Structure 1
Amino acid sequence: MKLGNRSVLVALAAVSVVGVSAGLASADSATPSATRSDKNFVEFLGNVNVSEIAAGGNAQKNATTECVQQAGRVLHDNHTQLEKKLEPVAASLGVHLPSGPTKADQAMFAPVSDKAHTPAYDTAWLNMMFKGHKAVLAKIDQEIASAQNSQVKAYAEMARPVIQAHLNMVNGGQCHTPPPAR
């Protein structure tokens, strides 16, 4: 290799290293680091998503009314989409997302499942979804107000209207005709 070509390669390598380092620095400054609170929120929403996916599937199989079965479909589909959108946020923060509902969530849902294929199931499912989505909406609002990481805040802002729509479907523990799943 000629000396001139070698100098060009060394110069290109140096520019590449500087460019990559500058790119990482600008990406870091564009997205502030996440606080423990931001990471906890991502973990919380990951758990909510997998739990709601399971609860939605359960309602599709065990509800006695078309409205609750349809609400289950909407929750299943919407939370599946929310989970897919949460995955890159979690990965960028080094947060591990659960693959299924926690044992505590399963135990909490067991009394509802025990009523499968009865009108009591529909009532219990709607009440649980109402209380749960109301609590999740409060956490989302808190995170929107306090998030330090722009990706986490953007996710919370994107998820808020979806959770609000779910709350509207199960408002007061009564089924309101759900919109079609997106």
Structure 2
Amino acid sequence: MNRRTRCAAAFLLALAGLLGAGTGPAAADQAPSLTAADRDLVVRVRLAGLWEIPAGDMAETKGSTARVREVGKLISAQHIALDKLAVTAARRLGVELPDEPTPEQAYWLREMRAASGPAFDRVFAQRLREAHGRIFPAIAAVRAGTRDPVVRKLANDANDFVKTHLDLLDSTGAVDYDHLPPLTGPAAEEHRFVLLGDPRHPGRAGTDQQVRQALVGLTGGLAALLALVLGIRVLFPARGTRVVRPPEPAAPPHRRQ
């Protein structure tokens, strides 16, 4: 293999590598991955079980009506099943789970322990109704946007459980709907795709990705163009070069006529 052939082979390899570098990161950015919302849902399902299981147990024994006692028993048993699903999903996804409820949830449990009679019924129904109303929209959002099949299945299961619990709590007759937290309205039209991370919308999430991909593509294109020019100069050094011939020397004076 002569020198020109070796140079040509090296040039083609370098050009292929540069062109590949221009497209690699963009493909990696589009690969499915576990999002913060996915992880948050798994943790929140676990937290729900950590306080609603003991809350249901208390309602089963402290409820002042047969319906409250029945609802407490059902909710406790169903959260035990849902908690097992959350733990299984967390192990598959590598998500670390808490072992105790949040300070707010612990306060709700203390409220229930201190209450009795109809007052207990109201605290039990109201606190659980508020909590289920909070997580219900979050489950729907994750279910609609997740790319992970494990999270998608957990969201489906959690959605069925929470919907059932909302119906059960409403059936106690102890929910004060006037004091439920206000509904969170849908995002403004110009922000909806940003919140969902849709790259088609000219928002922060989509724009960042588009700018990053454009810079990578531009850098790869410039590098490939430079490599092409250098390769042409190596392979065809005479092309495009004008040879200037030196002027012929003048005849010696003694030979002039």
TM over 0.5: yes
Offset, 1:102: 2.8
- For residue 171 of structure 1, what is the aligned residue in structure 2? 170
AA in 2 matched with 1:167: L
Q: Find the aligned partners of 2:104 and 2:128 in 1 and give their Cα distance.
A: 16
**Helix, strand or coil for the counterpart of 2:144?**
helix
CA change 1:81–1:54 in 2 (3 A) is same
Q: CA distance change for structure 1 residues 142 and 173 in 2, over 3 Å: closer, same or farther? A: farther
- Identity, in percent, stands at 24
Contact 1:46–1:86 under 8 Å retained in 2: yes
CA 1:38–1:108: 2 relative to 1, 3 Å: same
For residues 52 and 172 of structure 1, the distance between their equivalents in structure 2, rounded to whole angstroms, comes to 17
Compute the displacement of 1:173 (Å): 6.5
Partner of 2:143: 144
In structure 2, what is the Cα distance between the partners aligned to 1:82 and 1:58? 19
Mark the runs of 5 or more structure 1 residues left unpaired by the alignment.
Answer: 1-31, 177-182
1:98-124 residue CA offsets vs partner (Å, 9 max, x unmatched):
3332333111332232112x1111112
Counterpart of 1:154, as a letter, is K
The CA deviation at 1:77 is: 0.4
Give the match for residue 133 of structure 1: 132
Which of structures 1 and 2 has the bigger CA Rg?
2
Moved over 6 A (4+): none
Letter in 2 for 1:136: I
> Quick one: distance in 1 between partners of 2:147 and 2:122?
39
Aligned to 2:191: none
- Cross-structure match for 1:27: none
Output the amino acid matched with 2:43: E
Q: Which residue of 2 aligns with 1:58?
A: 58
1:169–1:175 CA contact under 8 A, matched in 2: no
* AA of the residue aligned to 1:85: L
Residue 79 (structure 1) aligns with:
79
